[in-house]
Amino acid sequence: MSVLAGKELRIVGFLCNWCSYGGADTAGTARAVQPTDLRIIRVPCSGRVNPLFVLKALINGADGVLVSGCHPRDCHYSAGNYYARRRLELLKEFLPVIGINPDRFEYTWVSASEGQRWKDVVTNFTNRIHALGPAPRWEDVPARYDRPEELIESIRPLGCGEHPALPELRQAVKDALAEGLEGVLGWKKGFDAVHAEPVFMTTPEEVDSLIWGPFNVHNLAVYLPQYKGRKIGVVVKGCDSKGVVELLAENLISREDVKIFGMGCNGTVSLPRILAKLPEGVKIESCTGRGNKITVTAGGQDYEMTMAEVAQDKCRLCTKPNAVLSDVFVGTPTTEPAAPADGRLPGLRFLDSLSLEERMGYWKGQMERCIACHACRGACPMCVCRDYCVSDTRDPAWVTQEDTVQQKLFFQLIHAQHLAGRCTGCTECERACPMDIPVFALKQQFGRMIQKIFSYGAGLDVNATPPLLTYQVEEPTIKEHDLA
């Protein structure tokens, strides 16, 4: 649908039926003249407004989106607007990371009696959008392909030698199998010396193949929901254990069904960083680690590298190298460093340095590579929809099969939105991406804002409730956005 050329901009409003839609009616009945740009979509409650509707409208080219509901404490459904307030506040804080000006989105409260207030809200918001002008179109924004590979300095010593407690760990797993566990998830050596692969150990022989070290990159928590109701074990690094805790907190697995084996972690590697140091296509013959040094033998030649050069970003900033929850913890725990004061976040640091339009171009450039394989989804321990992902169905039809940057980015937005307040930051989505698209930044932005608004980190407490699934009547950290 075309907007009235030159006169109007495309502004979409989501109004709750009981308060704000009534307020708009009251304004109309009072003949309160308003700008004509706004198109109102009636919803039962502001709590009905999935933030993805707002993102959909903005990605599809809306110049502004307004959500209005009943005032806090006055929700027709008693609590819908409390949920809306948390979700929409977070959304507003999220928007800049994908290059959308947060001023293009607003949410506010207007009651059915407040015709004048509604007129002011519409007038002020419309004026604001006109001042911003038409939203940049994805088609018009120049794609950027630059993505400086920065090596974040580690906040803790990283190591890659043989873990002295590994025999003890193997014994503990064997004991547990003997006591009746159906199997234990761990890692074994993969097709070459730098690749590990997950193993479901059921016999003592399989347990002897269990390894521990810098190549145990996979977060095995991802397999746990499919074993729900069966008694199994899982070996975890600190970061993996947060996934287990979050699954427990969300009742997606039961505490009595899963036995957690932990050992202090000294960091894992980024395989692309190792492979980049080797000639392309060379066959890796062996690999040894000692202290901070890794020696890879490939094509008959030794290649030396340090953990400082090849460790994953998340390991460099890891403050939880030991399992946050475990039944069996063997060996000496790794010293836990304090979080760096500067809050450095790789990925976001670069995005933060770009202008809004440059960020849009950045995502356009990155998402052009996406082949929609959804490996990011498969690797994510918190993606519990599995075969019922909303992106794989027409009912509801959130994404189409169109091969456009918008559709592919929207899938990432769905993933990030579903993980808001639940993502434990294991970065498996990004590691699993065969096209090396930095998709974790989207979840990281939500995580950063969740921390800022709700002082909450996922995966630390089995009794915690993710902040978007609850509310407070008074939200001391959310400022009211008054448009009137």
Partner 1 sequence: MKIGVFVCHCGSNIEATVDTATVAKIALTYPDVVFSEDTMYTCSEPGQENIVQAIKKHGLDGVVVASCSPRMHEPTFRRTVERAGLNRYMFEMANIREHVSWIGRDREANTNKAAELVRLAVEKLRRNAPLYAKQFDVTKRVLVIGGGVAGIQAALDAAESGIGVVMVERESTIGGKMAKLDKTFPTIDCSSCVLAPKMVDVAQNPNITLYAHSEVESISGFVGNFTVKIRKRATYVDWDKCTGCGTCTEKCPTKNVPDAFNEDISTCRAINIPFPQAIPKKATINPDYCRKIKEGKCGVCAKVCPTGAIVYDMVDEIVEEKVGAIIAATGYDLVDWTVYKEYGGGTYPDVITSLQYERMMSASGPTAGHIHRPSDGMEPKNIVFIQCVGSRDCSIGRPYCSGFCCMYTAKQAIMTKDHLPDAEAFVFYMDIRAPGKMYDEFTRRAQEEYGVQYIRGRVSAIQPTVRPDGRVGYIVRGADTLLGESVEVDADMVVLAVGVEGSKGAGNLAEKLRISYDHYGFFMESHVKLRPVETNTAGVYLAGVCQGPKDIPASVAQGSAAAAKVMALFSKPKLENDPQVSVVDIKRCVACGKCIQVCPYQAIEEVEIRGQKKAHVIETVCQGCGVCTATCPQGAIQVAHFTDNQLLAEVNALCLS
Q: Which of residues 28-87 bind partner 1 (CB under 8 A)?
A: 28-29, 31-36, 39-45, 47-50, 53, 56-57, 60-62, 70, 73-80, 83, 87
CA distance 143 to 138: 9
Site string for partner 1, 252-271 (x = CB under 8 A): x-------------------
Residue 298, strand partner residues: 284, 301
Cα(137)–Cα(312) distance, rounded to whole angstroms? 35
Decide whether 35 or 214 has the Cβ nearer to partner 1.
35
- Shortest CB 174 distance to partner 1, Å: 33
Question: Going by DSSP bridges, is the β-strand pair 38-43/328-330 parallel, antiparallel, or unpaired?
Answer: unpaired
Q: Are 169 and 212 in contact (CB under 8 A)?
A: yes
| CB of 42 or CB of 195, closer to partner 1 | 42
Q: Nearer to partner 1 by C-beta: 329 or 454?
A: 454
Q: Which is nearer to partner 1, 112 or 220 (CB)?
A: 112
Cβ proximity to partner 1, 206 vs 250, nearer residue: 250
Per CB under 8 A, the list member of 131, 338, 341, 397 interacting with partner 1 is: 397
CB of 80 to partner 1, least distance (A): 5
Residue with Cβ nearer partner 1 (77 or 223): 77
Nearest-approach distance from CB 409 to partner 1, in angstroms? 15
| 13 versus 267: smaller Cβ distance to partner 1 | 13
Total residues in contact with partner 1, by rule CB under 8 A: 75
* Pair of tokens at residue 86: 């948390």
Count of Cβ atoms closer than 10 Å to residue 164 Cβ: 10
Joined together, the tokens standing for residue 203 give 């016999």
State the nearest-atom distance from the C-beta of 408 to partner 1, in Å. Answer: 16
Find the binder of partner 1 among 111, 312, 322, 334 (CB under 8 A). Answer: 111
Q: Choose among 199, 255, 248: nearest CA to 382.
A: 248
Among 104, 156, 163, 418, binds partner 1 (CB under 8 A): 418
Counting contacts by CB under 8 A, is residue 385 touching partner 1?
yes
Contacts of partner 1 in 422-481 (CB under 8 A): 465, 468-470
CA distance 33 to 20: 17
Tell me whether residue 91 or residue 311 sits nearer to partner 1 (CB atom). 91
Cis status, amide bond into 346, omega within 30 of 0? no
Closer to partner 1 by Cβ: residue 4 or 178? 4
Instruction: List the beta strands (DSSP E) in 27-72.
Output: 38-43, 64-69
CB contact at 8 A, 220 and 234: yes
How big, in percent rounded to 5, are the helix, strand and coil portions of the chain?
40, 15, 50
Minimum Å gap between C-beta 461 and partner 1 is 16
Residue type, 290: R
Within 332-371, the residues that bind partner 1 by CB under 8 A are none
Q: 320, 336 in Cβ contact below 8 A?
A: yes
Applying CB under 8 A, which of residues 398, 410, 440, 446 lies at the interface with partner 1?
398
Alpha helix ranges (H) inside 195-306? 204-208, 238-249, 271-275
Residue 126 in the binding site for partner 1 (CB under 8 A): no
Q: Quick one: which of 149, 341, 388, 479 contacts partner 1 (CB under 8 A)?
A: 388
Helical spans, DSSP H, in 99-147: 115-132
User: Binder to partner 1 among 127, 209, 226, 251 (CB under 8 A)?
Assistant: 251
Q: What's the closest the beta carbon of residue 214 comes to partner 1, in angstroms?
A: 33
> For 346, what's the count of Cα atoms within 13 Å in the CB-facing half-sphere?
21
Burial of 168 from C-beta contacts in 10 A (0-12 / 13-18 / 19+): middle
What value, to the nearest 5°, has the Cα angle with vertex 429 and ends 169 and 462?
55
Q: How many whole angstroms separate alpha carbon 124 and alpha carbon 4?
A: 20
Part of the chain binding partner 1 (CB under 8 A), chosen from 110-118, 139-147, 205-213, 451-459: 110-118
Instruction: Kindly tell me which of 207 and 253 has the beta carbon lying closer to partner 1.
Output: 253
Question: Contact at 8 Å (CB) between 292 and 157?
Answer: yes
Shortest Å, Cβ 283 to partner 1: 42
Tokens of 272: 């692309």
| Residue the block writes with tokens 């498969």 | 378
Q: Which is nearer to partner 1, 1 or 178 (CB)?
A: 1
Q: What mask of x and - would describe binding to partner 1 in positions 9 to 28, judged by CB under 8 A?
A: -x-x----xxx-xx-xx-xx
CA dist 107 and 82 (Å) reads: 12
Cβ 401 to partner 1 shortest distance, Å: 15
Return d(Cα 484, Cα 462) in angstroms, integer. Answer: 42
CB nearer partner 1, residue 49 or residue 310: 49
- The amino acid sitting at 125 is F
* Least distance (Å) between residue 229 CB and partner 1: 10
Closest distance of CB 105 from partner 1, Å: 13
Please report how close the Cβ of residue 41 comes to partner 1 at its closest, in angstroms: 5
